[in-house]
Chain A
Amino acid sequence: MSSAVATQETVAPAVEEQDKPPKEPRGFNTFEFALMAPTLALLALLSLVPFFTLIAMSFSDVRTLGRIRLEFTGLENWVDVFTNPAFWASWGRSLIYFTSIIVLEMVLGFAFAVVLNNLIRGRSLLLSVVLLPMFLAPVMVGLLARFLLDSTIGLYAKMLAGVGFDTDVFANPSTAMPAVILIDVWEWTPLVALIMLAGLTSVPPSTLEAAAVDGAGFFRSLFNIVIPQMKAVILVALLVRSMDAIRYFDVITATTNGGPADATKIIPIRLYEMAFRFNNQIGQAAVVGLTMLVFSIALANVFLRFFGDREVARAHVAGGDH
């Protein structure tokens, strides 16, 4: 698999487009916009309407018994959520969870990619095997982990017991968080490895050979030549994983469901509990949802700045290379 970093470098060269921008019709009264309009209308229904509903809910008491009713209560939900120490504790745990999975996945994913890239034979087969976990349903991954770690019949639990680590990992507050982190790392490190591998294979071999001739060792080449050339790809992996880290919570739902003693109650789990288990708190859940949205909107901004508008991004990458 030969590959290249960031579409903008490989797509049709910028020069072609710069020759004739005035020819392109602009604005909303164009064929191009007409193609987009029906889709954007549906997207508005599925994205903008829920967004404004969420905002309305955050200022209301939402009654779900019988007919749905929103009763305006002003800032009450906001005050309740922001003065609730459990809310901040959940965000704190979320930050620990996000940071751990992202750091582990970036480091391991890079290591996986280096190993795969240095295999002379069997690289393609091994890559296929390595990628398998990320196609599994996250809820199933959680249940599979429960099976493997089951203290009476689990395969991994027995291996752990064999090295003297004999405990029910999901029942113990000090091991539950590391366990759910490792489950996510198991499922999603392959994705990071795949992205990193695309970056690694795009480093020109001639540069590396020149470095080798000059006597640069493995690690020096890695840190002085390879990693600097992979900056864009590393950023992509980081952004894509950060986005999904806050999106998904199925693994935790399927394993600890926030427990034991709130040890794994990250923010989406708390939101879910507020909205669906104690159903008088949907308004507060909306407030929590809005705080999560701020996080993902910030990510979308960073992503767009670097990789979104291709004309701008191309210039940026070209500028960064010199």
Chain B
Amino acid sequence: MLGRLKPWQRVLFLVLGILIGLWSAIPIAWMLITSLKPQEAIRTSDLVFSFTPTLENYRNLFFGGNRAGSFLVNSLLVSIISTFIALALGSLAGYGMAHWRSRHKKDVSFWILSTRMAPIAAVIVPLFVMFRIAGLVNTIPGLILACLTFNLPFAIWLMNAFFHQVPRSIEEAALVDGCSKMRAFWNVALPVTRPGLITTAVLCLVFAWNDYAFASSLGGPQTSTLPMAAGALVTQSGIDWGLLCALGIVIALPMLIAGLAVRRHLVTGLSLGAVTGE
């Protein structure tokens, strides 16, 4: 960019690049290092850099008095099921919307988008009352529905954007060949948007997996997810930082991997389809 760089400019950008990398990486690296430290190396006011790595914190997390295993199961259930529903319904509706012609299309778009943008705090309050009446507080189906309040509009909106990128000529050729509309969707458009489908799935999974606000106000002891467990580790009597860092890694690692796997399409997903990255 900006023409050819002079040698000193190259060095400058390299140094700045390294600084930016460190700014992002140090907190995460420190969390990883701490999670592998023995307790004595954490509970000291000196910064310990040399120690024998141990999995003690992870063992405490899953096999000690902390039932991280059951929290993990809850997290998996809620995020995977809600992602699956959002994706299935979202791609049907997203496809329909990409082809639908109506005077009311703008209103429907606006409704979907403003549902996705609605502040979490403002959604929790009526949801809490509705869930109390329906008996959904502290249940897994309740949390799945809560995640769908943001992931369903997100999936519709994003799949709609991805279906818009499918060249019309491909589908029209299929229809001319006598394909039904349903088959044009299932056998032609859907396979072409596979990267979009995967990106949408990953982002829905990340949003549901990382949710804390809904889980903490609509969930309860039986439905505690991993982020809730992290919040619960903070007690009046102090925080076991080793345990917390281990839990942080358990929460972060699958999402870091999934997120980087769809890096090429992330910008489209996270800009709600307004920017394409290729």
Contacts and interface: CB of A to CB of B under 8 A. Distances in A.
Same complex origin of A and B = yes
A213 B26 CA distance: 41
B168 A293 contact: no
Nearest to B2: A221
A191 interface: yes
Contacts of A155: 26, 30, 47
A282 B129 CA distance: 9
Nearest to B258: A135
A137 B108 contact: no
Nearest to B127: A50
What does DSSP make chain A's interface, helix, strand, loop or mixed?
A: helix
B100 A32 contact: yes
Contacts of A135: 206, 210, 252, 255-256, 258-259
Nearest to B42: A153
Contacts of A40: 93, 108
A261 interface: no
Nearest to A22: B101
Contact of B92 (A39, A114, A309): A39
B218 to A, nearest CB: 11
Given A7-B276, A38-B92, A135-B259, A275 B101 contact: no
Contacts of A211: 3
Interface in A263-312: 267-268, 271-272, 275-276, 282, 285-286, 288-290, 292-293, 295-297, 299-301, 303-304, 306-310
A38 B119 CA distance: 25
A136 interface: yes
A31 B217 CA distance: 40
A233 B275 CA distance: 7
B17 A195 contact: no
B73 interface: no
Nearest to B149: A46
A247 interface: yes
B132 A143 contact: no
B278 A143 contact: no
Nearest to A270: B121
B267 A137 contact: no
A142 B42 CA distance: 19
Interface stretch (A73-81, A169-177, A249-257): A249-257
A148 B101 contact: no
B131 to A, nearest CB: 10
Q: How large is the interface on B (under 10, 10 to 19, 20 to 34, 35 or more residues)?
A: 35 or more
A132 B25 contact: yes
Interface in A37-87: 38-40, 42-43, 46-47, 49-51, 53-54, 57, 62, 64, 68
A174 B189 CA distance: 55
Contacts of B20: 112, 115-116, 126, 130
B173 interface: no
Q: How large is the interface on A (under 10, 10 to 19, 20 to 34, 35 or more residues)?
A: 35 or more
Central interface residue in A53, A221, A226, by most chain B CB within 10 Å: A53
B44 interface: yes
A74 to B, nearest CB: 19
B78 interface: no
Interface in B102-125: 102, 105-106, 108-115, 117-125
Interface in B220-278: 226-227, 230-231, 233-234, 239, 241, 244-245, 248, 251-252, 255-256, 258-260, 263-264, 266-268, 270-278
A293 to B, nearest CB: 5
Contacts of B101: 21, 24-27, 32
A285 B128 CA distance: 12
Interface string A225-263: 010000011001100100100111110011000000000
A115 B14 CA distance: 8
Contact of B119 (A51, A122, A144, A293): A293
A285 B125 contact: yes
Given A140-B230, A240-B271, A282-B125, A133 B1 contact: no
Given A16-B169, A304-B106, A190 B45 contact: no
Contacts of B55: none
Given A11-B165, A126-B21, A292 B42 contact: no
A194 interface: yes
Contacts of B93: 35-36, 38-40
A12 B128 CA distance: 44
A47 B164 contact: no
A49 B148 CA distance: 14
A133 B132 CA distance: 35
B195 to A, nearest CB: 14
Given A36-B97, A191-B270, A289-B119, 20 more contacts: A1-B264, A1-B277, A35-B93, A36-B100, A39-B152, A50-B130, A53-B126, A116-B20, A132-B28, A136-B210, A137-B210, A139-B230, A140-B230, A152-B45, A155-B26, A236-B275, A249-B213, A268-B121, A306-B274, A307-B273
17 contacts: A26-B101, A35-B185, A39-B89, A42-B89, A43-B111, A118-B1, A118-B9, A119-B14, A136-B251, A137-B212, A139-B227, A250-B213, A254-B234, A267-B121, A268-B121, A272-B121, A286-B125
